[in-house]
Amino acid sequence: MSERQAAEPAPEVTIFIPCLNEEKHITGAIETAIAGCRSVGCRFEILVFDDGSTDGTSAAVAAYQVLHPEAAITLIRNERNRGVARNFVDGAFRGRGTYYRLVCGDDVEPQATQEAILRQRGTADIIIPYFTEIRNRPFYRTVISWLYTRLVNLASGYRLHYYNGGPLYRREDVLRYHVETTGFGYQAEFLTRLIYENRTYKELPLIAYDREGSASLNVKNLISVGHSLLTIALRRLRIVLFEW
């Protein structure tokens, strides 16, 4: 912790922004996150994880830091790609906020959505956004998302609307429970774990936007999803068989 951080009041929320080759979008993602926090009167810090980018992502963040020294922005640069799940946990250890949330580095989440989520801080242990509409999303991705949600619900026994919307957590829960899986499926594994641990939650209906090419269906993601579903299903089986 720097001397400046020690002298300032602790932030209410730590915003974690992972990015990989987002030179064109990362400045917008930072500005949107700052505007959302300030609009709701929330003290904040922003941790930007450049996860092995080969473009000018880190340079764009560094330039923004120079122009806006008053903004609490920390840049963490990984020399190689470590994956969003690993960075998610590392960010929780580096942060100081009571609350903790992922905001994607491709700047697809509007300020109004971020404000709506932050306004609910403190009303439950977890604020879970789900999207009644995702604009610009291709139909095939809508089908995949629908199927994925139902598979997670089947494996977990829960009935959530959506698992990958970037919930607002209490940072201490991330520190305590971490995640067992990596890659695309980590959010569902972690969220169902917290519900199993009796954390309270509130689902929040919102509208989202998608950017063309913002996600891919590949072997790595399929393996991650399979690992997550297996982890979730085994946890449920253990509860049913042994009640623990």
- Chain mean position to CA 72: 19
**Mean pLDDT of all residues in 123-148:** 90
Tokens, residue 38: 């300030």
Q: ∠100-104-107 over CA atoms, to 5°?
A: 125
Mean pLDDT along residues 19-44 = 97
Please provide the average confidence, as pLDDT, over all residues in the chain.
Answer: 91
Please write the tens of the pLDDT for every residue from 32-91: 999 999 999 999 999 999 999 999 999 999 999 999 999 999 999 999 999 899 999 999
Return the pLDDT at 217. 62
Distance CA 171, CA 19 (A): 20
Q: Which residue blocks in 22-138 are alpha helix, DSSP H?
A: 26-39, 57-67, 84-94, 111-119
More confident residue, 213 or 85: 85
Cβ(217)–Cβ(144) under 8 Å? yes
Region 9-26 average pLDDT? 96
Domains and CATH numbers, the chain: 3-137+162-182+198-213 (3.90.550.10)
Residue 14, classed as helix, strand or coil, is strand
Let me know: does 206 contact 104? Beta carbons within 8 Å. no
Two tokens, residue 176:
């305590």
Residue 218 scores a pLDDT above 80 = no
Cα gap 183→36, rounded to integer Å: 27
Tell me if the pTM is above 0.85: yes
How many whole angstroms from its chain centre is CA 152? Answer: 18
Question: d(Cα 114, Cα 20) in Å, to the nearest integer?
Answer: 21
- Res. 207: pLDDT tops 60: yes
Name the DSSP letter for residue 183: G
Q: Does pLDDT of 239 surpass 60? A: yes
